[in-house]
């Protein structure tokens, strides 16, 4: 791979010419001086539109086509699309390409909020499966093949199945087993593999979704590889999902003015992993193993690990470190604040009980030293007299949809107090972010359990998104 897109981008940004096209900063000449001082001149010079020589994302025939074809070969897909609107647009496009209004789709309760937006746009009807819940860590595992089999036996009109693997905590489902079942029913398997773009490149990591037989796979290349934030990929294999339908859906969801900074970063990330992915991941796994071994010896912390392979906890990404801090009598949000503000360590995902850290090829031994020192130093902040806290799973509620997400989205709504909202239909999708998994979904029956969980999360310091009233004194319901 010779980085055709990047090379053409370099030629275009160094060519002397009078630019009478967007963007308005004209390769940085019109940009704010303070911003240029922070970002540098090169970023603005490379911020070009779809010039003829740079190809077109929605009808690629030149350098973009070549870059995407090499990505498909590298990741093991029949066809790959570069995404400049994150994995969100890839997930929604996958739903639009497989489901029409009224079609049923099977999915776990701990899906990302983008899936719900896909249901709103497509009009598909969700059939939710509750994943197995770990009360000790207050996290959910994956979905088992047996759960998928049971649902498909009871529903003969399902058009697609979506699973999340790995989860935010690195827990992987038995994708091969699930794919075998869905294909037996001639139903495509869509995998939200946002956190698993690195799996392809090292044998000590879980098997990738494509290698395990998934039909459509969405990866956040920016989360664990070297692409810029918002840069992702959508991969297709097999014949159960139509490639043209995916292309058409992506044109609905992506900007007609895609950033070539993002596109070039996807090409470069692909080249980097094709050339030296195993070596880089050898280093990453070594760093993660070192951190894990030290932290496991701290008696006041627990580290999530794969004790034994089960039907819903099939594998674990060893580069994803989840540490349970509840033994210190503090919650994960407070622990995150202490680490970030006082100990120079910032985690990816704080939650009620845990801190989750992404260890990638961008980390080094200095980072691991700080991580170990930070988690060791948390002992000084132990709360020896904690108030009793009730922890329970936020995704383990029995979802009852009284109308489809699409119907609820367009329905007339009103604002009511929290106590008056119980048993009403939710008019909004409310998530804890990160990880962006809805506690309440539009169209879903509001329960006391979900409201209690939302209130508990806000009291403990979580960020709530999607609510019209961020204070949660009121909530929007279907009128």
Q: Cα 300 vs. chain centroid, distance in angstroms?
A: 30
pLDDT for 121-158, tens place per residue? 999 999 999 999 998 998 999 999 999 999 999 998 99
pTM for this model (two decimals)? 0.95
Cite the residue boundaries of each domain of the chain with CATH code 3.90.1150.10.
Answer: 276-381
Q: Give the whole-angstrom CA distance, residue 202 versus residue 208.
A: 10
**What pLDDT tens digit does each residue of the chain (479 aa) get?**
789 999 999 999 999 999 999 999 999 999 999 999 999 999 999 999 999 999 999 999 999 999 999 999 999 999 999 999 999 999 999 999 999 999 999 999 989 999 999 999 999 999 999 999 998 998 999 999 999 999 999 998 999 999 999 999 999 999 999 999 999 999 999 999 999 999 999 999 999 999 999 999 999 999 999 999 999 999 999 999 999 999 999 999 999 999 999 999 999 999 999 999 999 999 999 999 999 999 999 999 999 999 999 999 999 999 999 999 999 999 999 999 999 999 999 999 999 899 999 999 999 999 999 999 999 999 999 987 766 544 444 445 667 888 999 999 999 999 999 999 999 999 999 988 878 888 899 999 999 888 888 888 888 888 889 999 988 899 999 99
- And the tokens for 423? 């048993």
Query: DSSP state, 276?
Result: H
Report helix, strand or coil for 244. helix
Give the closest residue to 139 by CA, choosing from 345, 353, 299, 292. 353
**Contact (CB, 8 A) for 333 and 350:** yes
Tell me the pairing of strands 104-108 and 158-164. Answer: parallel
Fold classification of 276-381 is 3.90.1150
**Contact (CB, 8 A) for 289 and 372:** no
Cite the residue boundaries of each domain of the chain with CATH code 3.40.640.10.
Answer: 49-273
* pLDDT at position 396: 56
Residue for token pair 């106590």: 419
**Contact (CB, 8 A) for 213 and 148:** no
Cite the residue boundaries of each domain of the chain with CATH code 3.90.100.10.
Answer: 405-478
Fold classification of 49-273 is 3.40.640
**Contact (CB, 8 A) for 313 and 394:** no
* pLDDT at position 395: 47
Q: Which CATH number fits domain 405-478: 3.40.1190.20, 3.30.70.20, 1.10.3720.10, 3.90.100.10?
A: 3.90.100.10
Give the closest residue to 178 by CA, choosing from 163, 200, 194. 163
**Contact (CB, 8 A) for 132 and 392:** no
Q: Give the whole-angstrom CA distance, residue 29 versus residue 26.
A: 6
User: Which H/E stretch holds residue 101?
Assistant: none
Question: 62 burial class (0-12, 13-18, 19+ CB within 10 angstroms)?
Answer: middle
- And the tokens for 456? 């508990």
Helices of type H across 185-240: 221-224
Cβ atoms within 10 Å of 220's Cβ, excluding its own: 24
Q: Give the whole-angstrom CA distance, residue 298 versus residue 292.
A: 10
- DSSP labels, 128-155: EEPPPEETTTTEE----HHHHHHHHHH-
First to last CA, the chain: 57
Task: Please count the CA atoms within 13 angstroms of the CA of 462 that sit on its side-chain side.
Answer: 30
Q: Give the whole-angstrom CA distance, residue 223 versus residue 347.
A: 13
Question: 332 burial class (0-12, 13-18, 19+ CB within 10 angstroms)?
Answer: buried
Q: Give the whole-angstrom CA distance, residue 325 versus residue 350.
A: 10
């Amino acid at each position: 791979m010779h980085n055709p897109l990047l090379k053409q981008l370099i030629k275009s940004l160094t060519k002397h010419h009078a630019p009478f096209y967007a963007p308005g900063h004209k390769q940085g000449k019109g940009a704010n001086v303070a911003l240029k001082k922070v970002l540098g001149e090169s970023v603005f010079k490379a911020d070009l539109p779809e010039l003829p020589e740079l190809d077109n994302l929605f009808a690629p025939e030149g350098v973009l086509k070549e870059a995407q074809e090499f990505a498909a070969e590298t990741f093991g897909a029949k066809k790959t699309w570069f995404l400049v609107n994150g994995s969100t647009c890839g997930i929604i496009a996958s739903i639009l390409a497989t489901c029409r209004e009224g079609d049923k789709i099977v999915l776990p309760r701990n899906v990302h909020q983008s899936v719900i937006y896909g249901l709103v746009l497509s009009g598909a009807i969700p059939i939710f499966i509750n994943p197995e819940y770990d009360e000790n860590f207050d996290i959910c595992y994956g979905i088992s093949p047996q759960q998928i089999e049971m649902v498909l036996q009871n529903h003969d009109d399902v058009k697609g199945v979506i699973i999340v693997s790995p989860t935010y905590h690195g827990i992987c489902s038995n994708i091969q087993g699930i794919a075998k079942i869905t294909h037996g029913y001639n139903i495509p398997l869509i995998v939200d593999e946002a956190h698993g773009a690195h799996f392809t490149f090292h044998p000590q990591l879980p098997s990738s979704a494509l290698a395990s037989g998934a039909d459509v796979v969405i990866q956040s290349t920016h989360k664990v590889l070297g692409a810029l934030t918002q840069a992702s990929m959508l991969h297709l294999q097999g014949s159960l999902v139509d490639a043209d339908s995916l292309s058409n859906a992506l044109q609905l969801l992506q900007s007609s003015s895609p950033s070539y900074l993002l596109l070039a970063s996807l090409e470069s990330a692909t080249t980097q992993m094709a050339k030296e992915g195993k070596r880089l991941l050898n280093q990453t796994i070594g760093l993660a193993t070192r951190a894990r071994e030290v932290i496991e010896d701290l008696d006041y912390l627990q580290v999530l690990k794969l004790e034994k392979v089960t039907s819903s906890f099939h594998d674990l990404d060893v580069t994803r470190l989840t540490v349970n801090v509840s033994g210190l009598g503090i919650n994960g949000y407070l622990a995150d604040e202490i680490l970030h503000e006082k100990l120079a360590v910032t985690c990816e995902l704080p939650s009620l009980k845990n801190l989750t850290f992404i260890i990638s090829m961008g980390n080094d031994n200095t980072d691991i030293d700080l991580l170990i020192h930070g988690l060791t130093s948390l002992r000084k902040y132990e709360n020896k007299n904690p108030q009793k806290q009730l922890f329970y799973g936020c995704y383990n509620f029995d979802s009852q949809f009284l109308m489809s997400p699409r119907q609820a989205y367009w329905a007339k709504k009103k604002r009511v107090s929290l106590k008056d909202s119980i048993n009403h239909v939710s008019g909004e999708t409310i998530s804890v972010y990160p990880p962006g998994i809805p506690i309440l979904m539009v169209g879903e029956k509001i329960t006391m359990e979900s409201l209690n969980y939302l209130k508990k999360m806000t009291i403990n310091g979580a960020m709530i998104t999607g609510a019209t009233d961020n204070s949660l004194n009121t909530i929007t319901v279907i009128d």
